[in-house]
Structure 1
Amino acid sequence: MSRADVFRRDLTSVYRSRTGTAVSAIVALTTVVAVGLFALASDVAALAGVGGLLTVGSIAALVFLGNPKQIAGVVVAFTVLAVAGALALSDPRTGVRPGMELAVLAVGSGLSFVLPLVCLVGSYAALVGERETGSVRFLLGLPNSRDEAYVGKYLSRSAVVVVPLVVCLALTGVVVAFTFESGSLLGMVGLTLVSVPYALLFVGIGLTASAYADSSNRAVAVVIAVFAVLRAGWPAFQFVLLQGVEDQFPLPEWYFWVGRLNPINAYVKLTTLFAPVGDGHPLLSTPFEGVSTVATGYPFAAVVLLVWTVLAPVAGILYYRNRDLL
């Protein structure tokens, strides 16, 4: 099989299972539904309650329903309920509309957390699953090489995430452009352009874990460990290093160099390109006046994100070439 054959075979397999539909549903909830709620609702506290209940309910439905048509139906139903709930909470007399800043903060922050999860879940079993079922012999059948198999898998698992991501962000851009104060469709296009490599990065990490692991359980453990390190371990490491500094404020320059090497922080920084965030992004530490470092700039964030995006799948393919698979 060529990489194109692997791509088609794997993509069909993913969408016959619940994985592809579940990924699309979760991305839709994080983008289109979330922005729709913000655009319509005037009571933020009630909005948070309704949105939280709908999200928990829809994810629970995704877990317990295995039929893709049933899952799609549940997503549509919860989307309708979300819009209906937001309309009930909105007050058309105020005429107050949320700003573009809120759209970028809501979508960018949500995707910074959700995209790694859906990408890792969608890719961790791509290669190790073939070993467990014994179909790896078919996957690597002549004239297919290991590189062809790996690239085909990478392309199919990337498509599972990137296609719904782009579609949902396009729909989100339409909602933002027509319902948000100073809403910018172009700004949402920019957000899409930085979200795609962020998604590809975690697809690459998941595929690398799948190439390394001997079983699906071990692959799950690896991707959970990676997510935990990037999301919680990295900031904790910064905090531990900071304890050895006598005068911690203002935060020293090295603190930002360490923090902004994290691809999650790099992505969050790049999302702020598309809307002015007055007091700084709530997920990022902001340097005090007098502390100037290139690590907090947009070029550095772009380089960090692109380097991680390239190295993640490359590490996996280099290991997979010499892996004992049989």
Structure 2
Amino acid sequence: MSRYDVFRRDLRSVYRSRTGTAVAAILALSTVIAVGLFSLASDALAVAAVGGLLTVAVLLTLVFIGSPRSIAGAVIVFTVLAVGLTFAVADPAPYTLDRPSMRFAVLSVGSALSFLIPLVGLIGSYAALVGERETGSVRFLLGLPNSRSDAYIGKFLSRATVVIVPLVTGLVLTGLIVELTFQNGSFLGTLGLTIVSILYALLFVGIGLSASAYADSSNRAVAIAIAAFVTFRVGWTALRWLGIEHTPHRGSYPEWFFWFGRINPINAYIKLTTLFAEFEYGHPLIVTSTNTANTLVTSHAFAALVLCVWTALAPITGLLYFRDRDII
């Protein structure tokens, strides 16, 4: 059984277990609804009400359908309805002055995804390997003529597909809304945001899969995934601000403050989202340096390097451990 066979087998299993359903619904639907709420609607409350009702309706529908084809169909129907209803209630006047800008679109979508993607990436991958051990099917997975590397890579490709397909679907539809209803809205800018978001999603799929390779039970895998999320999201920032409280500085922050902050992959992702709109005063979620000595560490190139390194190391670390550990 090749890595491609593992990929197909695991993809079917994910959707049958409802994990794929949850990930698809959260990603593909929430991005469209979020931007629909921000588009220039003649009645924003009406958009919110319609979006809320459709979200509840589709999630209830997904509870009663089981096949991947039905799930995909429900997600597609819902997203098309969301986009259509957004345009139906939007103010069609092209000269309206209070339309939100491209900066607002990137700020809102990028900030939401910086929080949402880690969650769904970890949810979609934490049980990939440890679940096989708990059910005993790991003997079948590793008993066939394929290497552990093939099994691991097949699992990674499967879980990445579960997260990335709805993410791309949602962001492409978001790009259409942004292009047609926002001031200086750019579909190409949204595609750029999509590419960066794919890289970001692969990172947390890799972290979740590594947690699954390390853990002996699903509970422990969940604990590792939660710990990773909390560390990047909260702990990293807390340590940095605790450090600055006990470091003498005059007005500007010391150089280590930016180095420590910008090697966090979440901060790197947020920095890269600012490539696709004008952020004159920087992104509000990351500290902007006024010191020219910090130009390198606060640059887009450095952020891209940080995100690429994390994205590569996360799954490779799990693979190296999985190849040598006693599983059966």
TM normalised by structure 2 equals 0.88
Instruction: Report if aligned partners of 2:117, 2:201 keep a CA contact under 8 Å in 1.
Output: yes
Instruction: Report if aligned partners of 2:125, 2:208 keep a CA contact under 8 Å in 1.
Output: yes
Q: Which residue of 1 aligns with 2:147?
A: 145
For residues 64 and 229 of structure 2, what CA distance do their matches in structure 1 show?
A: 26
Secondary structure, counterpart of 2:143 in structure 1: coil
Q: Which residue of 1 aligns with 2:110?
A: 108
Q: Which residue of 1 aligns with 2:65?
A: 67
Output the amino acid matched with 1:37: L
Query: Structure 1: any 5+ residue segments left out of the alignment?
Result: none
For residues 101 and 51 of structure 2, what CA distance do their matches in structure 1 show?
A: 22
For residues 4 and 133 of structure 1, what CA distance do their matches in structure 2 show?
A: 22
TM superposition shift of 1:71 = 9.7
Q: Does residue 95 in structure 1 map to residue 93 in structure 2?
A: no
Pairs within 5 Å for 1:192-231: 192-231=194-233
Deviations 1:286-320 (Å, cap 9, x if unpaired)? 11355533110011000000000000000000000
Secondary structure, counterpart of 1:296 in structure 2: coil
Q: Which residue of 1 aligns with 2:27?
A: 27
For residues 43 and 302 of structure 1, what CA distance do their matches in structure 2 show?
A: 39
Query: Structure 2: any 5+ residue segments left out of the alignment?
Result: none
Q: Which residue of 1 aligns with 2:132?
A: 130
| Residue 275 of structure 1, aligned match among 274, 277, 280 | 277
For residues 281 and 88 of structure 2, what CA distance do their matches in structure 1 show?
A: 30
**Matched residue pairs, number?**
324
| Residue 321 of structure 2, aligned match among 315, 319, 322 | 319
Pairs within 5 Å for 1:25-64: 25-41=25-41, 46=45, 57=56, 61=60
Instruction: Give me the CA root mean square deviation.
Output: 2.9
Deviations 1:5-55 (Å, cap 9, x if unpaired)? 1000000111222111221111123322211221133677x5897599669
Deviations 1:54-100 (Å, cap 9, x if unpaired)? 698579759x9363458975995698579758966869698232111
For residues 94 and 177 of structure 1, what CA distance do their matches in structure 2 show?
A: 15
TM superposition shift of 1:265 = 0.4
* Bigger Cα displacement from structure 2, 149-158 vs 169-178: 169-178
Instruction: Report if aligned partners of 2:58, 2:74 keep a CA contact under 8 Å in 1.
Output: no
For residues 72 and 11 of structure 2, what CA distance do their matches in structure 1 show?
A: 18
1:196 to 1:85, Cα distance in 2 relative to 1, 3 A: closer
Q: How many percent identity over aligned positions?
A: 57
1:55 to 1:267, Cα distance in 2 relative to 1, 3 A: farther
Instruction: Report if aligned partners of 1:25, 1:72 keep a CA contact under 8 Å in 2.
Output: no
Deviations 1:140-197 (Å, cap 9, x if unpaired)? 1231111110010001001111112122222221221122111111111111111111
1:47 to 1:105, Cα distance in 2 relative to 1, 3 A: farther
| Residue 241 of structure 2, aligned match among 232, 239, 249 | 239
| Residue 164 of structure 2, aligned match among 162, 165, 171 | 162
Q: Which residue of 1 aligns with 2:183?
A: 181
TM normalised by structure 1 equals 0.89
TM superposition shift of 1:134 = 0.2
Pairs within 5 Å for 1:256-275: 256-275=258-277
